[in-house]
């Protein structure tokens, strides 16, 4: 007999999944049996990611979307539900960074980071949650950061977005646990991707996208009577 995969027949939506952490998460969830809906703003990179997933046997839907825009989010969720089914796993991964002294930043820097890293989680979650409430089940995983716990020079705007995300995650968890919906955060340190400043760090010692994807796997395969509210992820060796 063929062993049943733990996420077989489930649908997962991963934002910011055209590369890096998001793409690694999509690979992991599809390997576990889920159908995956991926989105990103760059349609060309998204198409490449979709082909990569499909070549590995994944059932995948790719939708170009800016998740900081409500209309794009509504279209994304609608297409996912129509083509794949009800969303049972939501991974809010889309993120951008601005690194520099806060007093030298412009209003556009603030808006871009906060809209992408925080507002998008609000928009996507509030669009997905009603069907989860109706079915009284679901997992929402927000990819936060150690920057949501630690201050560092030049991190003012980015840290503000991630501290806010942790607060939002904890409150959502309290709001939704009565409906059987688990809301968790993953807080990785620096990950070896194109994102963020890694000057002077050894990429071989840094966290890899698959490390974050493994943490997501841990959360979505947790026994249903409990949930892990937060995972703090660090490399074994300091880079």
Given 98, 122, 158, 163, the catalytic residue? 158
Long-range CB contact pairs, 70-74, < 8 A, 24+: 70/123, 73/120, 73/123, 73/124, 73/127, 74/127
98 in active site: no
**Whose CA is closest to 170, among 230, 227, 216?**
230
Strand order through the sheet with 138-143: 60-64, 35-40, 11-15, 89-92, 138-143, 181-188, 230-233
Q: What is the sign, positive or negative, of the torsion defined by CA atoms of 10, 12, 18, 21?
A: negative
Q: Give the catalytic positions in this structure.
A: 158
């Amino acid at each position: 007999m063929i062993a049943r995969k733990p996420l077989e027949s489930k649908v997962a939506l991963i934002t910011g999944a055209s590369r890096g952490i998001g793409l690694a998460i999509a690979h992991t969830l599809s390997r576990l049996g889920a159908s995956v809906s991926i989105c990103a703003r760059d349609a060309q990179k998204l198409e490449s990611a979709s082909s990569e997933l499909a070549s590995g046997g994944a059932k995948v839907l790719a939708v170009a979307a800016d998740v900081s825009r409500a209309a794009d989010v509504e279209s994304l969720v609608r297409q996912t539900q129509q083509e794949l089914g009800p969303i049972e796993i939501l991974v809010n991964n889309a993120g951008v960074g601005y690194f520099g002294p806060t007093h030298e930043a412009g209003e556009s820097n603030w808006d871009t980071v906060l809209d992408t890293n925080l507002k998008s989680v609000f928009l996507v979650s509030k669009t997905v949650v009603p069907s989860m409430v109706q079915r009284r089940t679901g997992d929402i995983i927000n990819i936060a950061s150690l920057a949501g716990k630690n201050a560092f020079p030049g991190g003012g705007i980015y840290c503000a977005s991630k501290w806010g995300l942790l607060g939002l995650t904890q409150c959502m968890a309290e709001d939704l646990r009565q409906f059987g919906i688990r809301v968790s955060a993953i807080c990785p340190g620096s990950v070896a991707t194109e994102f963020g400043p890694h000057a002077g760090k050894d990429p071989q010692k840094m966290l890899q996208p698959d490390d974050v994807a493994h943490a997501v796997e841990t959360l979505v395969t947790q026994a249903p009577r409990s949930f892990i509210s937060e995972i703090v992820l660090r490399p074994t060796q300091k880079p």
